[in-house]
Structure 1
Amino acid sequence: MCLWPAVLSLKQKILLKPLKSSAILSTAKSGEVFDVIIVGGGPIGIACALEAKKKGLKYLILEKGTLVNSLYNYPSNMTFFSTSEKLELDEIPFISTNPKPHKQEALEYYRRIVTSEHLEIHLFEKVEKVTSENGFHHTSTSKATYSSRNVIIATGFYDIPNYLNVPGEDLPKVAHYYGDPHFYATQKTIVVGASNSAVDAALEIYRKGGDVTMVVRGPAIGERVKYWVKPDIDNRIDEGSIKAVFNAEIKEIKEREVVITSKEGDQVLENDWILLLTGYRPNFEFLKQLGISLSNDGRKIPQYNPETMESNVPGIYLAGVICGGTETHKWFIENSRVHAKMIIKNIVSS
Structure 2
Amino acid sequence: MENLDIFIVGAGPIGLSCALEAKKAGLSYLVVEKGTIVNSLYNYPIYMRFFSTADKLEIADIPFISASVKPGRQDALEYYQGIARQRDLSINLYEKVLGINKEEQGIFRIKTDKAEYKAKNVIIATGFYDIPNKMNIPGEDLPKVKHYYTEPYPYAKQKILVIGASNSAVDAALETYRKGAKVTMVIREDKISDSVKYWVKPDIENRIKAGDIKAYFRANVLEIKPREVLIKTADGEILSLENDFVLAMTGYLPDFDFLKNAGIELCGENQNPKYNPETMESNVKGLYLAGVVCGGKNTRLWFIENSRIHAKFIISHILSFCN
The bucket for the TM-score relative to the shorter chain is over 0.9
Q: Return the alpha-carbon distance in structure 2 between the equivalents of residues 185 and 86 of structure 1.
A: 35
Q: Return the alpha-carbon distance in structure 2 between the equivalents of residues 160 and 109 of structure 1.
A: 26
Structure 2 residue 243 is matched with structure 1 residue 271: yes
Q: What are the within-5 Å matches in structure 2 for residues 81-160 of structure 1? A: 81-133=51-103, 134-160=105-131
Superposition RMSD in Å: 0.7
The number of equivalent residue pairs is 319
The aligned counterpart of 1:316 is: 287
Gaps of 5+ in 2: none
Deviations 1:98-145 (A, max 9, x none): 110000000000010000000000000000000101110011000000
Q: Return the alpha-carbon distance in structure 2 between the equivalents of residues 301 and 99 of structure 1.
A: 34
What is the one-letter code of the residue matched to 1:189?
I
The aligned counterpart of 1:191 is: 162
Q: Return the alpha-carbon distance in structure 2 between the equivalents of residues 165 and 342 of structure 1.
A: 38
What is the one-letter code of the residue matched to 2:313?
M
What is the one-letter code of the residue matched to 1:287?
L
2:160 alignment partner, SS class = strand
Q: Return the alpha-carbon distance in structure 1 between the equivalents of residues 248 and 172 of structure 2.
A: 11
Structure 2 residue 318 is matched with structure 1 residue 347: yes
What is the one-letter code of the residue matched to 1:288?
K
The aligned counterpart of 2:45 is: 75
2:298 alignment partner, SS class = coil
Deviations 1:301-336 (A, max 9, x none): 111011100000000000001111111111010100
Calculate the TM-score normalised by the size of structure 1.
0.90
What is the one-letter code of the residue matched to 2:252?
Y
What is the one-letter code of the residue matched to 2:304?
I
1:287 alignment partner, SS class = helix
What is the one-letter code of the residue matched to 1:125?
E
Q: Return the alpha-carbon distance in structure 2 between the equivalents of residues 115 and 142 of structure 1.
A: 24
The aligned counterpart of 1:291 is: 263
Deviations 1:36-89 (A, max 9, x none): 000001000000000000000000000011111100000011000100000011
The aligned counterpart of 1:209 is: 180
1:129 alignment partner, SS class = strand
Structure 2 residue 146 is matched with structure 1 residue 169: no
Calculate the TM-score normalised by the size of structure 2.
0.98
Q: Return the alpha-carbon distance in structure 2 between the equivalents of residues 193 and 79 of structure 1.
A: 19
Q: Return the alpha-carbon distance in structure 1 between the equivalents of residues 28 and 55 of structure 2.
A: 28
Q: Quote how far apart the aligned CAs of 1:337 are.
A: 0.5
1:269 alignment partner, SS class = strand
Amino-acid identity (%): 61
Gaps of 5+ in 1: 1-30
Q: Quote how far apart the aligned CAs of 1:264 are.
A: 3.6
2:173 alignment partner, SS class = helix
What is the one-letter code of the residue matched to 1:55?
A
Structure 2 residue 216 is matched with structure 1 residue 245: yes
Q: Return the alpha-carbon distance in structure 1 between the equivalents of residues 275 and 217 of structure 2.
A: 38
The aligned counterpart of 1:46 is: 16
Q: Return the alpha-carbon distance in structure 2 between the equivalents of residues 38 and 100 of structure 1.
A: 29
1:167 alignment partner, SS class = coil
1:244 alignment partner, SS class = strand
Structure 2 residue 208 is matched with structure 1 residue 224: no
The aligned counterpart of 2:205 is: 234
